[in-house]
Amino acid sequence: MTSRRDPPPVDGRESREARVTRLLAGRTIAMVGMMGAGKSSIGRRLAARLGLPFIDADAEIEEAANATITEIFEQHGEAYFRDGERRVIQRLLDGAPKVLATGGGAFIQPETRAAIQAGAISIWLKAGRDLILARVRRRTNRPLLRTDDPAAVVDRLIAERYPVYAEADIHIQSRDVAHDVVIDSIFEALDEYLGDEASGKVER
């Protein structure tokens, strides 16, 4: 599949998107990062350009539990939610290749992180504090932000989570621009990373 930013080559050379698809070799891409970073919106468009299905792990968890994320947190607590999240993500990783958007806390859990690192190419969408706050204020379905001071919670989560997100294979800055701009950055980074992997410069 090609995009308007990556037109079909006229000289017989492989396009970037075709090369990335070939080098992925049927592996899943897992989007990780904070709430509001754009994992679902970017992931959905990335999947379309790769010709892969897109799956939102939180939506799968809600379907499996027949309850919203907020309801699971309120009725059973975070530990219960994380255990279910781990099992759902492992099931999704074991399935056909896809672009998978994970919840903000998924990659922070050691077992879930190990499963993602073993079964997917992980991409960290790294969003700045102000962008996260601007986006999450539009939504009411963030259990961890149901507090009088959501900014303080975001600051704490950034401090706790960013060093762990940094273990992802690829880091992409999330910013308030057209989605295609961010996706083009992802393709460039995937091309470089997978090329290095194929030449032995990256060990998995």
Looking at residue 1, what is its pLDDT?
40
Bridge partners (DSSP) of residue 100 are 30, 55
Q: What is the mean pLDDT of each run of 10 residues along the chain (204 residues)?
A: 48 80 95 93 95 95 92 91 94 95 96 96 95 75 64 91 98 90 96 91 71
Looking at residue 10, what is its pLDDT?
45
Say if residues 132 and 107 touch (Cβ distance below 8 Å): no
Say if residues 190 and 198 touch (Cβ distance below 8 Å): no
Looking at residue 4, what is its pLDDT?
46
Q: Name residues whose C-beta falls within 8 Å of residue 84's C-beta, 6 or more positions apart in sequence.
A: 61, 64, 65, 72
Looking at residue 3, what is its pLDDT?
45
Say if residues 24 and 194 touch (Cβ distance below 8 Å): yes
Distance CA 185, CA 183 (A): 5
Looking at residue 144, what is its pLDDT?
57
Q: What is the pTM of this model?
A: 0.88
Q: Which of 44, 57, 123, 120 is nearest to 86 (CA)?
A: 57
CA 126 to chain centroid, in Å, comes to 10
Bridge partners (DSSP) of residue 127 are 174
